Homo-oligomer: A and B are copies of this chain.
């Protein structure tokens, strides 16, 4: 591994700056293509072409439900699961590798918009105001997916390329199952470290929760509202079940309050009561209620044991309820079924990233505990490599007027280019 000279650092930094307008235009283009879950084909085709133009010999890997289903960390399939293939691009050095290999991973899927009238501009416009680039995916994580490409372009601009293998993973399903990156693992793509530029406020993720998605369904006996007392209101019954799960959430937060890296988190294992669909007629007592939930678990807890506990909680509660005992609620696992991970401190990869960050920003790299799902768990748990999640300052992730700081994207891209240059080494093209 090379030690970058002052001159090399300055040249790489300048090169990122020289290409930065184009990089932001590329990011805007990605935002404008949109692509909700299952509809990422256009944006992925565009990424494929970008990889191909750069000589990374991209290939597509389809979602293999059977193969995925046999893996302990696979998210559960539902009718909304994306069938859009992931893309793997590969940079090969000219000869034998002179440095360490690297996975650069980024997801192209984005979450829904919510009511668009609550956005100040078209969520897909790629509006820029001051330092902020707005749009769904601006932060999470099309700016990061772009940075994966443009960090390498910055080296190319000054006649350099990584002196070892880079595996570029452009995936979908990161927001729902994590099955995109898991497909890359199942196909054997692996390197000495992985870097994912998720919008982490220029911090490095030290520990990350696992996440489970599930749906509670309660059915009731609908009757005319005039006979309300004789029918069970499925919404009310479902809400009682949710109440029991909220009790469990508190219990978990207590149980794991002294877990390493989680002591400072006030409420790390949030149960999100997220989607409700119930009933179809105002004058009928509702016959059914479906509530989609998301809950988190600390590293070291298996998804299966958490799922078992949730199912038991629901069953125990139902057993003591007059109506629910006769009409047991269903628990359906319909997305993430993932475990958390810890990035063990002191790895060489982390040390190189620390240095690159310091060179790019003048600041020491700090770490954070992430209480949201990130695909790095695949690289960490199953590839067993240092999986570093580090990316730009962003805000309103999953919300209205999602944005990313343009200057932060520049700093992070610089840090990434410097990291790549030192971790992988560089060679003349």
Contacts and interface: CB of A to CB of B under 8 A. Distances in A.
A175 B282 CA distance: 9
Given A276-B235, A281-B398, A399-B221, A228 B118 contact: no
A111 B276 contact: no
B223 A397 contact: yes
A225 B272 contact: yes
Interface in A388-416: 396-400
Interface in A193-236: 211, 213, 219, 221-229, 231, 233, 235-236
A115 B287 contact: yes
Within the oligomer, what is the number of copies of this chain? 2
A140 to B, nearest CB: 8
B267 A274 contact: no
B397 A114 contact: no
A154 interface: no
A272 B276 contact: no
Given A267-B229, A287-B118, A292-B282, A398 B223 contact: yes
A89 interface: no
A46 interface: no
A397 B283 contact: no
B275 A225 contact: no
A143 interface: no
B288 A272 contact: no
Nearest to A396: B223
Interface string A250-276: 000000000000000011001011111
A67 interface: no
B283 A225 contact: no
A213 to B, nearest CB: 5
Contacts of A270: 225-226, 228
A96 interface: no
A284 B398 contact: yes
Contact of A289 (B276, B371, B398): B276
A396 B284 CA distance: 11
Interface of A: 111-112, 114-115, 118, 140, 175-176, 211, 213, 219, 221-229, 231, 233, 235-236, 239, 266-267, 270, 272-289, 292-294, 335-336, 370-373, 396-400
Q: Which 9 A-B pairs have the closest CB atoms?
A: A226-B372, A114-B287, A275-B279, A224-B398, A225-B272, A284-B398, A226-B371, A112-B280, A282-B294
Given A175-B281, A229-B267, A274-B286, 10 more contacts: A111-B283, A114-B280, A222-B398, A223-B397, A224-B372, A224-B398, A275-B286, A283-B294, A283-B398, A287-B399
